[in-house]
Structure 1
Amino acid sequence: MTMKCNVQPGATSGGQYSWYRDEQLIEGEMGQLYTIYSADWEHSGTYRCRFGSGSFPITLYVNTEDLFSVPEINNGHDPVIEGDDMTLTCSTRLHPLRQDTQLLYAFYRDGQKVQEFKTSNEYRVWSTGLEDYGRYKCEVRKSFSTVRKTSAELLINIQDLFSVPKINDKHKSVMEGDNVTLTCTTRLHPLRQDTQLRYAFYRDVQEVQGFGASNTYRVLSARLKGSGKYKCDVRKSFSTVIKTSAELLINIRCENEAEPVSDVNITVSEEREDFIIGENLTLTCIVQKGTSLIFRWLHNDKIVNKDSESFQLQDNASVLYIPSLQSQHAGTYKCNVSNALPSSAVGTIQIPQIMESRQSGLSPTLAIVGVSLLIVLLAGILMFIYRDKIASHFKKRPQTPPNLVSCPMIDNICYATINIKKIEGSSVSPKHDDEHAVLYAVITNSGTTSDSQATPETHDDTADVYQNIKAH
C-alpha cells in the first residue's frame, strides 16, 4: 500500500517531506510517497505528511483478514505398515481475493525438518521403516513474506510387517554324521498375510544359503567344521525391510565325544493317587542333556538288576517296569545317569504305601456324619419300642366298684370288718404271710336306735369313724 503527499503546484521547491503516524515521526521516510509492505492490523493509525510548514493529515484503517487458513496435515494411508509407501498432505485455504498467491510448504518430524519449503504440499516416504515413526507437522508461508502458519502435530505409528525371526534346531545335540535342519520362523501382520517373504542363513557371518522362499536350511551328514553360530535374515520381496534373528550355537561332536549329563527326572506312566497291589507300574527316566547315556536304577538305595524277578528294565534300562505291585515295592526310586565323563545326575521319585484295594474316596468327615445319623435313627427306634413296652406294662387294671357291706347297729354304733388278703399275681408282697384285718366302727350323732342293718349310703354325715387294724 502506497500513500502520496500532494502539495500545491509550485510549492514543492526548496521543501522536504516527512511522515508521521499517530503524531510520531516515521524515521527515514522523506519522500513524497510512503509505502507499507505486507499491510497488517498493526499498521492502523492516523498518518500525516508535512512539507515545509504545511501539514496534510490522513487517517488509515487497516482491516486485515487471513491470507490463508491454519494448515492441516493428513495421512492418506492408515494404518502404515512397515514397507508401505506413505504420503502426508498439508492443506490450507487462500483468501478468495488472493487465490493467485504462491504458497510454500515444509515438513517436520519430531521437530526436525525433513523437507524444505517447496511449492508441493505433499511429503512422500517410499517403503517406510520403523525409523519413520514420529510426530509430523507442516508449515506454510507466502513467498517473499514473513507470514507463516504451522499445523498441529500428527502421530505416525509404523507397524511391523513381520516379527523378528527366530532360528530353531530340534536337535538337543548334534553328532558328526547327523542330519541337521534349521528353521527360521516369523509372523506376518494380520493385514499382510499374502506378503511373500525371503529367507537367508548365515554361519559365523558367512552366508550359507542365499535369500529364497524356503525358511529351512538342511545339513546332510554334518561335519565338525559345520560347528558355529547360525542366524537367519528375513525380508520382503522387492523391499528394503529386513530383520535378523538372534544367533544359535551349533556344536557338532565326534561319536566318541560325550556331553555332560544334566536335568534328570522320573515320570510315572499315568497320573495316579493310589498304588494298588496287583496293578502294573512304569517309571521312565527322562534326561534333558547328555549323550552316550548309562542308566542305573536303585530301589531304597539297592541296585535293581536286570534279572530281577519283580522288576523289568526296558528301553536300554531307561524304563523300569513293575508288572505286579506288591507291598515291598513301596519306597524311594532313583535313576542314576552317567556316561564316559566323570560327572553324573540322579532323578528321584517316592512311591507311598501299596494298598490292597482302591479307596472309595469317602472322607472321614462324611463317615462320622453317617455313623452319627445311624446312631440317632437307632435311638429313635429304640425309644419308640421302649415307650410302647412301658405303656403296656403300666397300663391300669380295670377296677370294679366295691360291694356294699351291711353294717349292724348296736347302741348307735355300726361295726364293719374288712379283711386284707394277698392277691395272686401281685408283684407286691407283704413282709409276712399273715393276713390283715381292719375293724371300722361308726358312731352316729342322730340318736337313732334302730336294730335294722345300715349301709354307707344311710349313714349320717355327722357320724364319727373309728378304725382298728388287727393282724391275725
Structure 2
Amino acid sequence: MSRLTPIFFILLALKNTEGAVTPVVTLTPNWNNVYSGDRVTLSCSVGSVEEDKPRYYYYTWHKDDKLMYEMRKTLIITAKVADTGVYKCSVESGIYSNPVRLHVISGDYLILQAPSDIIEGDSLSLRCHNRPGSTATGVTHFYKDNELSGSTDDILHIPNVNTSMSGTYKCEKYFDFVIKDQWKSAEKYINVQELFPTPEIQSSPYSIQEGDEMTVRCHTTLNPLRGGTELHFAFYRDGRTVREFGISNTYRVRSSQLEDSGNYTCEVRTTSDTVRKMSDEIHIQIYELFSPPQIKVTPSRVIEGDEMTVRCDTRLDPLRGGTELHFAFYRDGRTVREFSISNKYRDGWTVQGYYVSDTYKVTSAKLEDSGKYTCEVRTASDTVRKDSNAFPVQIKELFTSPEIRVGPSLLVEEGKQVTLTCVTDPKGSTNLLYTFYKDSQIVQSAHRKTSYVIGKAGEENSGSYKCSVQSRDGKVIKNSTDVHILIQSPISDVRVTVDKGDFVYGKSLTLYCSVEKGTSPVFLWWHNETVVDQDAEFYQLRENGAVLYIQSLQSHHVGSYRCQVSNKLSAIKPSFAVETFQISQNPPLGESTFPKVFFE
C-alpha cells in the first residue's frame, strides 16, 4: 500500500445533535475507479445540522475492516493498485459509515468511471477515461445494455436518474496506435439506489369509530447517504386530496365521521419534486358509534288536550356501551327541548348494540304544537351528532274558538232583554263548559248553558263581554273576542230656555237646551233651517252644544231657532223660534228692543 500523506489532527466543530450521528464517506473527484497515479481525497462527514453548542468528533478510518488511522477527517492519496479496497470511517458514537469501494487500475487502456454511490434523483455523470499517455480521437460512444445512449465527448450527463436506469453501461473510443488503430471499450454496471422506498401507509387505532381521533401515517426511510434530504408528504382519500404536501408524515382527523371512510393513499416527494412515490392503497372503515336516530309520536292521532309523547330512538355500538348520549328535540327547526340526558333509558342489549331512547312530553297538546318534529343525538363531548328525519304532527281541534253573539243587537234600549250566546263547533265533543265575562269579571260561571240572559237591561249593564269554552277536565280553554254592549234610554222632554226676557240690541243672549231623560244626548242647533256649527261666525256653542251663546245681538240674529237632541236610540227635534221683527232706523244705543219673543 502506498504511503499516505502525513497524519494531521482535524477538529470538526459541529453543534450537538440528538442521538447517534451516522458518518458518510465521499470521494473527490467522485469516481470509484481510478488509474494508478490519480489523486483521490476521501472525506468523513457527519452532517451539517447546526445546533446551539459546537461538538468535536473523534474520527477513525478502516480499510477492508482493518484500522488505518485515527483523528483524521480526510485522507488524501495518490492512488496505487494496493489502495484498492473498501473504506469506512466512524466517529466516537461507534457507528460506521457506508462502505465505499475504491478500485485502482493500472493496465487497461480505457475505464468507465462513475460515482461511488448513485441515488435516484441525482444527476449522473459517466466518464470514459483513457489511460494517461494514450491518445484517442473522435467522439465517444456510450451504450446502456448494448443500446446506444449517446455520442459526445468524454463525459455523458444524465439528469434526474431513477432506479429503472440501472444497468450495464459501456463506452467506446477510437485509439490511434502506431501499429494498428482500433476501438477500445470499457463497461461498468451502474446501480441506481433508491432515495427512499415506496412509502407504506398505516392507520391507528386498529378499529376506528365515529368521534375517535384517527391517525394516518406515511412511512418511508431515507437512504443513509442522503439523510439530510427533506421529504414532503400528501394524503388522499378515494383519489381526492385530504392534505396537501407538507413536511409532516402524519394526517390526523380529530373527530372521525362516517364520511372519513374510504381508500387512503399517501405520496412522498422531494422538495425539488425530482423523486415522488405513491403508497399502496389501504381501506379505512369508520364504524358507527350510534345509528341515525328515529323519531315517533304517540298517540298516532293527537287531539287538543291529549298528552303527546315524542320519542327519539338510537342504537349504541355494543363496544361503547358506556358512552353518554344527549338528546334534543325541535319543532319546525326551533328548539323545544335543549340537549339533556334526563328521561334517558336503555331498552336492552342485542348483538347490534344498546337501544337508547329519550322522550319529550307535551302534557296538554295545543294547536300550536302542530309541526314537523325532529330530534338530534350527540355525544357528551359533541364529537358526534346526528339528526333524525322529520315527523309531521297535526293536532286535531277538540272544538273551535268560540264566538259571542248578542241579541237583539249591541245597542239596546234600557229595560229590554239582552241575550248573549257562546257559539262553537264542538267537533263531536260533549260536556263542554261555558263561562261569560263582563269587563273581565265572571258574570256566569262555567256551565253547560251556552247563553247568558240580562232580563231588564240598565245602563250599568253596558260594557265589554266575552265567553270562554273549556273541556270538562279544563285542559283545553278557548276565549272569544270581546264585544261591547251599549244600554241607552231614549231622549224625552226637550226644553229651550233663555237667560232674560228682554232682547236688547247689542247685548248678549244665551239659549239653553235641556232634556228630562236620555243617555248621552247630542245637541244640534238650527237658525232659520241652517245648522249652527262650532265655527259659526256669529254664535258660540258651549257645554258640548247644549248652550247657544250670542255675544252681541244684531238684526241678522232675527229668525226662528230650534234645538234638536238625539242619541243612538232616537232623534227628537224641538225648536225655539223668534218672531219676525223690525229694527228702527238709527235707534238710540241701549234703548231699541226687539219685538216680543215667543216659543213654538
TM-score norm. by structure 1 comes to: 0.47
Q: Which structure is larger by alpha-carbon Rg, 1 or 2? A: 1
Structure showing the higher strand proportion among its residues: 2
Q: TM-score, normalised by structure 2?
A: 0.37
Using CA pairs below 8 Å that are at least 6 residues apart, which structure has the higher relative contact order?
Answer: 1
